[in-house]
Amino acid sequence: MHPAAQRAALPKRRSSYTAREKLDAANALEATKDVARVVKERYPDLSASAYQLRRKLVLKWLRNKPKIEMQCSLKNGSSKKKAWPAGVGTKLPLEVEKELVVWVNDLRKDGVPISTKMLALQAQELATENGIESFSASWRWRRRHCAIDANIGEVDSDDDIEVNEVDEE
């Protein structure tokens, strides 16, 4: 077989762990004081280099145990793999979202095209007016809302209706 035809080695995969798994490993390490034993019991099939990395990771979990405990105490926190700081992923309340939709519809009725920047600035202004200081219209938020709002309030023009009628015949 030609060397170029052989499959390339699979890239290393990163793993993430739930807060409960991290806390259990940290508690086991605290109880036994034996890192090697904890790592080998929980992750038996590791290579030598992967073992060293996992050993460091378990020690890090022990250092961060108070933070992990706090995350586990939150609703659904023990099943989460990442701890986000307060304000990250802040949503707008439904009433504010409706205000934004009304604003978009009013502009579209007048034939004004709405850019993502206009939408983001209006959303930030509405959030500030409603006391939501941590809101930032991230690119994901803008992408999601531009896709959702694309068809809101759009009215077919007479030309589009005529074309649709001709196509149906």
Q: Which of 48, 79, 110 is the last residue of a domain?
A: 79
Same domain (yes/no): 36, 75: yes
In a domain, 85, yes or no: no
- The per-residue pLDDT for 65 is 94
Tell me the residue length of the chain: 169
Q: What is the pTM (predicted TM-score) of this model?
A: 0.51
Query: Count of domains in the chain?
Result: 2
- The per-residue pLDDT for 72 is 85
Same domain (yes/no): 100, 62: no
- The per-residue pLDDT for 71 is 85
- The per-residue pLDDT for 98 is 87
The CATH number assigned to the domain holding 141 equals 1.10.10
- The per-residue pLDDT for 147 is 58
Same domain (yes/no): 70, 30: yes
In a domain, 14, yes or no: no
- The per-residue pLDDT for 165 is 45
Domain span at residue 123? 94-158
- The per-residue pLDDT for 97 is 85
Same domain (yes/no): 114, 75: no
In a domain, 26, yes or no: yes
Q: Are 78 and 71 in contact (CB under 8 A)?
A: yes
**3-state per-residue secondary structure call for 81-124:** CCCCCCCCCCCCCHHHHHHHHHHHHHHHHCCCCCCHHHHHHHHH
Residues of the chain under the 50 pLDDT cut = 151, 153-169
Q: What is the pLDDT of residues 39-77, one digit of tens each?
A: 999 999 888 889 999 999 999 999 999 999 988 887 777
- The per-residue pLDDT for 9 is 66
Same domain (yes/no): 100, 153: yes
In a domain, 167, yes or no: no
Same domain (yes/no): 103, 136: yes
